[in-house]
């Protein structure tokens, strides 16, 4: 099946600073891919480029088969874009914002928008200046979903929200993905929410995608292992290609390619007295992938 987003050789600048450099990425239909990486890696710029809001150069870039540089309006109508921040005049009411947007989207569903406002405990007569940060995020989500988009581009949808607002944003996104069968490309520093939402991870560094894989596959291959040695660790080499965490005493090894064979080799090593698998989370995985990229 043709990917809903197809990118080859994408480059973009802010002034003289190159933010994206030869980036390649495909977003399969029906998938939720989380873009992860350090601040300044180019994640938000990539989303803005996909809606035609930032100039770029590319060998190929398609969103639902359309080039956002040439068909910006058509792409914006087909995509639900959740910006990391939205600046509206303080006097503007939610209803005013919707009236402004409705003519731009042929598929705008006023009934659906009203239902989401009710679900999120928002009043259409509220002014933008009266909304809390969480309420602004929820209003932003309604705007992103009201026209039943086929693709969601979500830039930090959970950032800075309290538990109730985060749960509502999370629920709204998942409900749309389930009911509409849409795909999503999401930027988030909330590792818990990435694990709950995404089925794929795309790692960004220096304006490039350095690694893409299914989240389940990455997690199944990823392990943190404590190894108790007989003798000095400096004279011992670990099986495979692990990252060694800075520790005192025992060796803590981080594997991205863990297998039964590696475990068996460690246990059969004459220098190894004990092998213990340790708890790990997605943050550990991101650090390990980033370190592997630096080493390469």
| Interacting residues of 227 by C-beta distance below 8 A, sequence separation 6+ | 238, 250, 251, 252, 253, 266, 272, 274, 275, 276
Between CA 103 and CA 108 the distance in angstroms is 8
Residue 208 lies in a domain: yes
Tell whether 94 and 119 lie within a shared domain.
yes
Mean pLDDT of the chain: 88
When divided into structural domains, the chain yields a total of 2
Residue 285, domain member (yes or no): no
**82, part of any domain:** yes
Q: What is the pLDDT of residues 4-52, one digit of tens each?
A: 999 999 999 888 888 899 999 999 998 999 998 877 788 999 999 999 9
Neighbours of 74 (CB within 10 A): 16
Q: Kindly state whether residues 147 and 203 are assigned to the same domain.
A: yes
Helix residue ranges per DSSP H, 181-276: 191-197, 215-221, 260-268
Pairwise CA distance, residues 205 & 217, whole Å: 21
- Within 79-148, where are the H helices? 94-101, 110-119, 133-145
CATH for 175: 3.40.50.300
Report if residue 288 sits inside a domain.
no
Q: Are both 57 and 143 inside the same structural domain? A: yes
- Residue-wise pLDDT for 173-231, tens only, equals 888 887 777 899 999 887 788 888 899 999 998 899 988 999 888 888 899 999 998 88
Domain co-membership, 200 together with 234:
no
Residue 76 per-residue DSSP state:
H
How many beta carbons lie within 10 A of that of residue 277, not counting itself? 11
Range of the domain at 266: 223-279
């Amino acid at each position: 099946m043709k990917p809903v987003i197809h990118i080859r050789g994408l480059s973009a600048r802010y002034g003289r600073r190159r933010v994206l450099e030869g980036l390649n990425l495909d977003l399969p239909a029906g998938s939720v891919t989380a873009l992860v990486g350090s601040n300044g890696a180019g994640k938000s710029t990539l989303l803005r480029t996909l809606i035609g809001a930032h100039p770029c150069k590319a060998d190929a870039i398609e969103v639902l088969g359309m080039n956002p540089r040439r068909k910006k309006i058509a792409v914006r109508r087909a995509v639900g874009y959740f910006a990391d921040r939205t600046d509206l005049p303080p006097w503007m009411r939610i209803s005013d914002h919707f009236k402004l947007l409705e003519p731009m989207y042929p598929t705008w569903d006023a009934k659906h928008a009203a239902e989401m406002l009710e679900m999120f405990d928002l009043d259409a007569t509220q002014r933008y200046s009266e909304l809390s940060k969480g309420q602004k995020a929820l209003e932003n989500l309604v705007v992103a979903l009201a026209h039943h988009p086929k693709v969601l581009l979500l830039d930090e949808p959970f950032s800075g929200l309290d538990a109730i607002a985060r749960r509502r944003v999370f629920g709204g996104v998942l409900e749309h993905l389930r009911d509409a069968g849409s795909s999503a490309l999401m930027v988030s520093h909330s590792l818990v929410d990435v694990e709950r939402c995404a089925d794929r991870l795309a790692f960004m560094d220096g304006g490039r995608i350095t690694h893409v894989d299914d989240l389940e596959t990455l997690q199944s291959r990823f392990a943190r292992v404590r190894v108790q040695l007989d003798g000095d660790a400096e004279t011992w080499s670990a099986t495979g290609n692990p990252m060694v965490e800075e520790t005192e005493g025992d060796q803590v090894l981080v594997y991205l390619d863990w297998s039964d064979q590696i475990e068996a080799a460690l246990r059969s090593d004459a220098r190894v007295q004990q092998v213990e698998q340790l708890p790990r989370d997605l943050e550990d995985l991101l650090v390990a992938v980033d370190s592997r990229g630096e080493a390469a």
